[in-house]
Structure 1
């Protein structure tokens, strides 16, 4: 299709807006546009007007989002708590709303515009900056796209960019606003400062019980103990069931043969390629190069004036071009292939090196295969075990007896709080994974002695639990926490003494005191910081507390202030004020102007989305959305 399009023309506006405001297909991993209706099983995640967002499309987008954010291993319940799937769907819904509005406005893109957009995307360009069809086809394969589907996606993206470009055209920040922000944030200041560790201040004398009692009375809430619950539970996990499943030798052998490619390391070949304009040229070059030793091939190719394209290392299955794969993997040793006609026309390939593949023996992977087969079957049996547990309990067995009847021992927790911590505040080990277990255990309607319903965890395990006892949240009396109160009083008193010392030092510095002498008499370090910003950050990574920096930006030269950072007080005297014109380069103002313009554009686009949501009916299906976590 691309070859049939006419010579390129300029894209209309806003590749910047397209990159900034629109989710490109590679960013989210959208499936082919030919299949953007319902997924194979008919599930729909959302309806936007007369358009459906299928579960298949949504699932691919969600998985790509996890990959790009390096969240592949995130726990499903944590992902649910962070609302990740809904955030992905919200972006997809907005994109679909913009597409619908672009259609209503009859906005579209010509074949030339689509062709130019595809050929100028960096993703599809080779090292020479030109369109690389191998990269293009590889990207299509990785994202489950066809070429016509890709063309339609880009056509819709351009239409969206036309719509958004029209909405945001002319959005620029007023000069007066840019000037004020430039002078405010561009100003830099310098200071000399002392660092006074809190631990260096003399410890206060030990308090008597009267002082401790008063401290306790004032801060009782700091010593409150959370509600604790003791419980008994039966956990039906796939891992527990897997240990009871016998796997036959025939099944192990069959799985080994089916997974041999996955378990082993496939052969890898380092491949280069030369493209030719005709079959005759390709065959002539192949015959000439075939007589050249492998180690001399690159020099000979350069001597012949040919362009060698380094493709890299591939397994046979990893090469998206069948002709290239057949030619390179038919060689028994490194060398030159015969001429062949592939996706790019007539070519000759060079196999530079061959890395032999490896296949493990059955004995080497027997345990792994056995565990995997047992676990696969165990997942299917969790529900059946759960029904048996439920039935046994319904027949009058205790929870312990019901668990024993299905071969799973009940476990006990003496005391745990809603965050999974024991009475001493440390997290308990070996709690069932995920948040569901503790959420159900601390449900308001579950009283001491009650047994909850059969529940499913985020990792597809099932459990039933009984609350054995409840220790209500309470503030302990003073005698029982006297040592804890004393430690808190001592820490607070030392902090107040250090702060008082910092106030005194700041007053001395502000009165033009000698910084070196003051530091020496207080066992403090002297440092300087040049040209720090309002957040306390200076070039080279130096910084002072942001609260202290804010104070210093409100003072005249020679005045002093203090702030706390980690376990120390920092006392600083302002030594120099540098206005923005002398402190920052010319790009600083432009960056402010650009950032304000982008912010205004984003606001306009957001307002458009809000308006379209009122005009175009949008329906989401939470039960289908939630499937993505499983």
Structure 2
């Protein structure tokens, strides 16, 4: 039951509800549209979801799901995982919440919006506080006005308030928590007898008719998959990199050219005072020259300590002030105070509290990075050149043999391969491109189909030529008779072991002791350790999951049987003792159950609220436009 509670959050609809607010705050810059039009992918009464909103939300969800930055999470993978559906439903739910918030009069105050914007890290300057110039520049890059962004922030807060009210009203019944705790913490131990399949040695040899009958009833087990014989070329970064040589002279030349960018730059602990006019700056400088404390003078100019301090600052980090200001700050000696200097934000006075000298990286230290960068650059250029040459050759009707010779690439041959990458002897085919795109393309082609240069979706290209297709078929009995015979004997022994177990259970339930029933078959009785449902690992993985469930469903003295975890026999199990553990409301287990149950109840309420909103408001989705948008995304 606890597993079911934890699995509840994996529902894509409920997951969408949970991430709705989080994702919305992360995706700053999303503009809401309230006018229907040809770019509307969904509508909930008066609130409309635009094509642009969907694209940005889809890309954000795809970014979140990208576990390895070196492996691109493609649109095709995202669609296969249902990301397009999740994204659309999340946006539709957001629009429904906007309608509900308007109807209920939920309103975020101007102060809350102001505090949220000023507290957003992306709008902070080097001092760690809100910088209006950075804020305006960020909005400009996203073609947004301050009013548009603040309106969107207000909407997101109102959605959060509405859902927060639902969450706050959830009460977890303690009686249910206690019942779940008792269920999960109950302990028991049992006696058991093992009946291995290997002990069933009296099974007679199957007759030819037995083998034929077995084959006819299990034909699907002897189906041979479709095999394809093909030749292929690979143009990818890994192959080209292995063929790229870099001399010592080239490495040294690269080092000299990039020495400054590879080295650690000088950093300074600075203080700054920024004012609007030169006259005001000169008056402040006079006070500093007279011995007043820099911090006191900065405060008198309206600057907080956080705005004044610029710790561990690199010269490049002052680019927002302009070159003159940055050069001035880094021309001073430790302890010096600068003359007022003009900047992009006004007139600035700097003080240098500390200087951390830069460090020049040696050639040996830089060698690995230099080697990688040179090889990467050459490989990229070579791949572009080869791919363009290949397209030209293919356009003229070149064969795959001529193409391989022209590109100086090995032409590789595979005599037979199934879709799962195995040859006709059951051995894995090696040396293939690492992406799934290669196999998918290979098995979508017809025999002798026109060759083409195809993108592997990761780091290169491939060209394939299908030479032969062997259709899927059931292998004839005369080719696999020995295998069928072996399978018949295996299943007969398994059935014999199962029959022994069933008869033993029947005898014990009829009053025979487990020990006496075991003696009749020459088996030995053993005992399990004391275990709970959560620590059945103590059984050493011998019992199958079905047997464990049956063991915990049986009462004291109950007898059950089931297969071993390895499928090599059966166990007959008799429960010897069942004990309940006293309820400990302060234990981690109890609190975990309580928390899981609370989250499950909240999810259930969210789901019911979603149903209520979708029934109350007119909801429409333009699935055709969504499919069109997704199909055009890279």
**TM bucket by the smaller chain?**
0.5 to 0.7
2:199 corresponds, among 195, 198, 202, to 202
CA contact (8 A) 2:16 2:90 kept: no
Q: Does 1:375 align with 2:376?
A: no
Aligned mates of 1:107, 1:617 — CA distance in 2: 29
Distance 1:94 1:153 in 2: 16
Deviations 1:339-379 (A, max 9, x none): 999x9x99999879889462547876554333222233245
- Counterpart Cα distance in 1 of 2:260 and 2:82: 34
2:388 equivalent in structure 1: 384
- CA offset digits 1:122-166 (Å, max 9, x no partner): x99xxxxxxx983988xx99xx78996986554232122244457
Unmatched 5+ residue regions in structure 1?
A: 1-16, 38-43, 125-131, 288-305
Q: Does structure 2 conserve the Cα–Cα contact (< 8 Å) formed by 1:382 and 1:462?
A: no
Q: Does structure 1 residue 605 correspond to structure 2 residue 610? A: yes
Counterparts in 2 of 1:229-628, with a 5 A limit? 229-237=228-236, 264=262, 266=264, 356=359, 358=361, 360=363, 367-381=371-385, 384-393=388-397, 397-443=398-444, 446-452=445-451, 454-459=453-458, 461-503=460-502, 506=505, 511=511, 513=513, 522=523, 525-532=526-533, 545-552=544-551, 554-567=553-566, 569-570=570-571, 571-573=573-575, 575-576=577-578, 578=580, 585=590, 588=593, 592=597, 595-605=600-610, 608=613, 614-615=619-620, 620-622=625-627, 625=630
Post-superposition offset of 1:120: 9.4
1:300 alignment partner in structure 2: none
SS in 1 for 2:468: strand
1:399-443 per-position Cα deviation (integer Å, ceiling 9, x unaligned): 323443454454322111122221133331122333333233323
Deviation at 1:243, TM superposition (A): 8.6
| Cα separation, 2, equivalents of 1:194 and 1:74 | 53
**2:190 equivalent to 1:187:** no
CA distance in structure 1 between the aligned counterparts of 2:632 and 2:203, rounded to whole angstroms: 59
Are the counterparts in 1 of residues 267 and 314 from structure 2 also a CA contact under 8 Å? yes
1:56-80 C-alpha deviation (Å, 9 max, x unpaired): 844762464035x567636648834
Check the 8 A contact 2:205/2:489 in 1, yes or no. Answer: no
CA distance in 2, matches of 1:270, 1:609: 58
Q: Distance in 1 between matches of 2:221 and 2:530?
A: 38
Distance 2:85 2:70 in 1: 16
Larger C-alpha radius of gyration, 1 or 2? 2
Change in Cα spacing, 1:588 to 1:228, as seen in structure 2 (3 Å) is closer
TM score, norm. by length of structure 2 = 0.64
Q: Which runs of 5+ in 2 are unaligned?
A: 1-14, 34-38, 272-283, 296-304
Report the Cα offset of residue 25 of structure 1: 4.9
Tell me the distance in 1 between the aligned counterparts of 2:564 and 2:332.
66
- Tell me the distance in 2 between the aligned counterparts of 1:349 and 1:522: 86
Of 73, 81, 84, the residue aligned with 1:83 is 81
The Cα RMSD (Å) is: 6.1
Contact 2:229 2:466 in 1 (8 A): yes
Alpha-carbon separation, structure 2, partners of 1:25 and 1:32: 12
Q: Does 1:134 align with 2:128?
A: yes
Q: Is the 8 A contact 1:99 1:156 kept in 2?
A: no
Q: TM-score, normalised by structure 1?
A: 0.65
